[in-house]
Amino acid sequence: MSSILIKNGTVVTASDIQKADVYIEGEKVKAIGADLPMKADQTIDAKGCYLFPGGIDAHTHMELPFMGTKASDDFETGTLAGLHGGTTTIIDFAIQKQGDTLNAAYNAWQEKAQGKVYGDYAFHVAVTDFNPKTRSEIKDLVQKQGVTSFKSFMAYKGALMIDDRQIIGLLDETSKFGALVTTHAENGDLVDTLIAENRAKGNLTPKYHPLSRPPIVEAEATGRVMDLAHYGGHPLYIVHMTCEEALERVREGTKRNQKVFVETCVQYLLLDDSVYEQKNFGGAKYVMSPPIRKKKDQEALWAGINQNLVEVVATDHCPFCMDQKRMGENDFSKIPNGAPGVEDRMELMFSEGVLKNRISLNKFVEVTATAPAKIFGMFPKKGTIAVGSDADIVIFDPLKKHTIRAKTRHMNCDYNAYEGWDVTGKCRTVLLRGTVAIDDGKVAIQKGFGKYIARKPRGEWLT
Ligand code: URP
Ligand code: ZN
Ligand code: ZN
């Protein structure tokens, strides 16, 4: 069995920071401590570097067929880009085609991933048609395939959205098996009404995208799905929360002792809605749902992280190149929704979050790795650096300065949402299950190295 000794680094977990060596045998961490005496096949000097647990991006859409096109990263390019950026595991959404089965979605997504994927991966299954047949599939997906989270869309009517009755059924059924429902919380009918109003007035440029999805759209849906979950006594996870109004619904929920897991994404912490004013159709780069909000919402979300109301920072990585975005050149509602980010998340959260004193180093690890591992049934295999855990480790140089540019990133997208941003801190070496995957920008594994991670249901994992 091959072995690696990482010497002289500072190991950071969600709870501790310690100068320590890490000894790895095969895929696992075997020992952590000062001046470890073991001899290994390979020794890596991590002097001056942090050792972070490999990042877990709990919200990606590789090769998603959506709005007449498909996301430009597939499992090969997307997970390789993730590894370059310190994300060793993704949880992607296998999305049921309305009329098809959940198993068909799961199998289709496995087919997209198998043999191509560089990083480790798991699936949430998105239920776009909850009926007796799909209800009957849930038990085996949880117990046989390790799919312990599902998704309900409250928007995108006619394609992905399910109604409240279906959401109630999904909450009830998944709960029986210890699985978690994740929700895209936007009021789809209100969105469609506002889009129609804007189009009727000839308001067709990208800036009308956020105006068709104001915060009330998100806050109403968040409050509603929380009420449904609370009434049934179910846990709930809200994806990509963007605004103070929605977060206030969560804060209200805490008063009745309701626990709702909240995810936000890097773009909602770092960008504001002035992006929609960019010239030459530049605003289209930021057309995603929910939209980018105001500076005051960024502040509310950072505070929410520190108040433990927001547990996870993901990306909703769903890139479309500019020629795809141009499908909506004459009508903002036809711009494919989504943006790249899987490669940017860890470095941005360190540079903008830790170095700007918005979050602590431990919190950085918690929101980018530990909390998603715990919430989604992968802890302590993933999400921490501990004896017995997978040796998914990012050796991170906290002083290295660089500038984000689409052309030096590895995502298959011709723009970057943070083009020209100067950041401090870079992923130097990335290990996945005890193998060096990326070293100084060079790829050291073959495609197909990534493994599917079957997850544990609630009860076996919830802390
Ligand atoms: O705009 C977005 N977020 N696109 C991806 C699909 C979704 O809603 O998560
Ligand atoms: Zn969504
Ligand atoms: Zn999404």
Full set of structural domains in the chain with CATH: 3-52+386-398+423-462 (2.30.40.10), 55-375 (3.20.20.140)
Which residues have CB less than 5 Å away from ligand 2 (the ion)? Answer: 184
CA of 79 from ligand 2 middle (Å) equals: 20
Indicate the top mutation candidate among 60, 61, 73 to test ligand 1's pocket, ranked by most ligand atoms within 8 A of CB. 61
CA of 331 from ligand 3 middle (Å) equals: 22
The residue assigned the tokens 């500076």 is 295
CA of 92 from ligand 3 middle (Å) equals: 9
Indicate the top mutation candidate among 318, 324, 325 to test ligand 1's pocket, ranked by most ligand atoms within 8 A of CB. 318
List the one residue out of 18, 115, 45, 16 whose CA is nearest residue 75: 115
Atom of ligand 1 nearest to the CA of 337: 1
Low-confidence stretches of the chain (pLDDT beneath 70) = 460-463
- Going by alpha carbons, the residue nearest to atom 1 of ligand 1 is 288
What is the length of the chain?
463
- Going by alpha carbons, the residue nearest to atom 4 of ligand 1 is 338
| Nearest ligand, measured from the Cα of 292 | 1
What pLDDT, on the 0 to 100 scale, is given for residue 224? 98
What pLDDT, on the 0 to 100 scale, is given for residue 136? 98
CA of 315 from ligand 1 middle (Å) equals: 10
Q: What are phi and psi of 270, to 5 degrees?
A: -115, -20
CA distance 325 to 330: 11
List the one residue out of 294, 209, 194 whose CA is nearest residue 244: 294
Instruction: Enumerate residues lining ligand 1, CB below 6 A.
Output: 61, 184, 288-289, 316, 318, 337-338
What pLDDT, on the 0 to 100 scale, is given for residue 458? 84
CA distance 355 to 369: 18
| Nearest ligand, measured from the Cα of 60 | 3
CA distance 181 to 186: 15
What pLDDT, on the 0 to 100 scale, is given for residue 463? 40
Residue type (1 letter), 448: G
CA of 160 from ligand 2 middle (Å) equals: 10
| Nearest ligand, measured from the Cα of 152 | 2
List the one residue out of 290, 96, 64 whose CA is nearest residue 191: 290
Contact between residue 1 and residue 26 where contact means Cβ atoms under 8 Å apart:
yes
List the one residue out of 90, 107, 157 whose CA is nearest residue 318: 90
DSSP state of 289: S
The model carries a pTM of 0.98
